[in-house]
Structure 1
Amino acid sequence: MKKYLAIVLFLLIVPMAYGQTDDVLTLKHEVARERVMRVKAELQLLEARYREGQQMLKVFEKELAEIEKKLKEQKKLKDK
């Protein structure tokens, strides 16, 4: 049991003592690059949704203005 524990500790400590290998750094680099690409894609999606939301807001504001105008006209007719 002590022998296996010593081997496991050796395998864990040696890479830390000598630094990371090129393979590990390459893998970390690829993972980081994929994360950046994913975040950029999410950002583009959010920007597109924001633009769509702004356009919808303009349409709804126009509709609201028209409804308010009609309500005012109806109140004027009612008051007469």
Structure 2
Amino acid sequence: MPKAKRIFGVIFASILLLMSVVVISLYDNVRENTPRDDNLTGILEDDLQLFTIAMAKTLDSNFEAVSFDDSVDEQTRRIF
């Protein structure tokens, strides 16, 4: 029985080692310690907002992204 436990332990340790090597070699930010591209994230957020506004206008032709109270003058409304 001790021989079977030893074989199981060696196989188990080998599988863990293989999984660790695969994880480290596949993920670039782990291997190279590269930070996430925040500029790309900002661009995608802007695109998503513009897409959402465009879809809202498609579904409702009276949709306005910014609405104003009656107390706001016409010149300020045109700026936005």
Give me the TM-score of the superposition, normalised by structure 1: 0.38
Greater Rg, structure 1 or structure 2? 1
Give the TM-score normalised by the residue count of structure 2. 0.38
Answer 1 or 2: which has greater helix percent.
Answer: 1
